[in-house]
Amino acid sequence: MSKIIIKTPEQIEWIRKAGKLTAMTLDMIGTYVRAGVSTLELDNIMNTFILSNGGISACIDYKGGNKWGKWGYPRCTCISLNDVICHGIPRADEILKEGDILNIDVTTIVDGYFGDASRMYTVGNVSEKAKDLIAVTKKAWEIGIAEVRPGNFFGNIGYAISQFAESRWYSVVRDYTGHGVGLEFHEEPYVYHKAAKNTWPKMQAGMIFTIEPMINLGKYASKLDKDNWTAKTKDWSLSAQFEHTILVTEKWHEILTVV
């Protein structure tokens, strides 16, 4: 029995507000990403911005249902640098340098409703390898989003993403997935980024979930840091990710994490 929540029009309206604030935050921080800045400085700028726009961060003190960290997450956002796959914790001693690639993942709560999105950023000139990884990850994500419509199988999202990424000889991270979102941070279902064709459940109008593929230049295996949050590639290869919160509409879909 599926416990996937079908959101009401009123709930959708609120989740749209949270999605918008999340997107505004990701837009705003772009101009601050440069060599010499620490990831903690970026995190603090985003925290101030979210609070002054009527939201709060969903990440601060988040326990992850004991799935990931033993302790609550300590910061406002996740900033995942180079070989970090996801859930990198912003730090004062982590200073951006020319050539770095990073994912910034923001989840805001507005009046109790959640919006979750992330993007890649680059510092100065980055290698051709890094540029191609980011471009292919973005394309794979868009191909996955194109599968969202009522009546389609969730598995077809992961099928489309993995077919494309693997055709370019990249690998799809298995240990972290997309998820239902809106009334809670992480709801059912898990949204796999690698899946078999036509596997259940099916999408229905009113469902809201994230698609957030993590694609590695090397192998897909991840390892968890001693901090119990930071996930890195086991082979130290670069990793990229993009994320949107998406609503299934009567005819198609609507991306909610847009300004």
Pick 35 or 60: Cβ nearer ligand MF3: 60
Other Cβ atoms within 10 Å of 194 Cβ, number? 20
Pick 100 or 105: Cβ nearer ligand MF3: 105
Judged by CB under 6 A, the number of residues near ligand MF3 is 13
Q: 181 by DSSP, 3-state: which?
A: coil
Pick 78 or 160: Cβ nearer Co ion: 78
Q: How far is the CB of 181 from ligand MF3 (least distance, A)?
A: 8
- Of 108, 113, 243, 253, the residue at the interface with ligand MF3 (CB under 6 A) is 243
Surface-to-core class of residue 92, CB atoms within 10 Å of its CB (0-12 exposed, 13-18 middle, 19+ buried): exposed
Q: 194 by DSSP, 3-state: which?
A: coil
- Of 94, 100, 105, 187, the residue at the interface with Co ion (CB under 5 A) is 105
Q: How far is the CB of 87 from ligand MF3 (least distance, A)?
A: 4
Which one of 13-21, 33-41, 59-67, 193-201 is the stretch in contact with ligand MF3 (CB under 6 A)?
59-67
Enumerate residues 1-40 that contact ligand MF3 by CB under 6 A.
Answer: none
By the rule CB under 6 A, 62 interacts with ligand MF3: yes
The item of ligand MF3, Co ion, none sharing an interface with residue 80, based on CB under 5 to 8 Å by kind, is none
Q: How far is the CB of 215 from ligand MF3 (least distance, A)?
A: 15
Surface-to-core class of residue 227, CB atoms within 10 Å of its CB (0-12 exposed, 13-18 middle, 19+ buried): middle
113-140 b/e (C-beta count within 10 Å ≥ 16 → b): bbbbbbbbbbbeebeeebeebbebbbbb
Other Cβ atoms within 10 Å of 67 Cβ, number? 8
Query: In 3D, which of 188, 4, 189, 179 has the Cα closest to residue 86?
Result: 179
- Of 103, 212, 216, 245, the residue at the interface with ligand MF3 (CB under 6 A) is 212
The item of ligand MF3, Co ion, none sharing an interface with residue 74, based on CB under 5 to 8 Å by kind, is none
The item of Co ion, ligand MF3, none sharing an interface with residue 62, based on CB under 5 to 8 Å by kind, is ligand MF3
Instruction: Measure the CA dihedral 13/17/18/20, to 10°.
Output: 130
Distance CA 192, CA 204 (A): 17
> Does residue 72 contact residue 61 with C-beta atoms inside 8 Å?
yes
By CB under 5 A, name the binding residues for Co ion. Answer: 105, 116, 210, 243
By CB under 6 A, name the binding residues for ligand MF3. Answer: 59, 62, 64, 73, 78, 87, 105, 107, 116, 210, 212, 229, 243
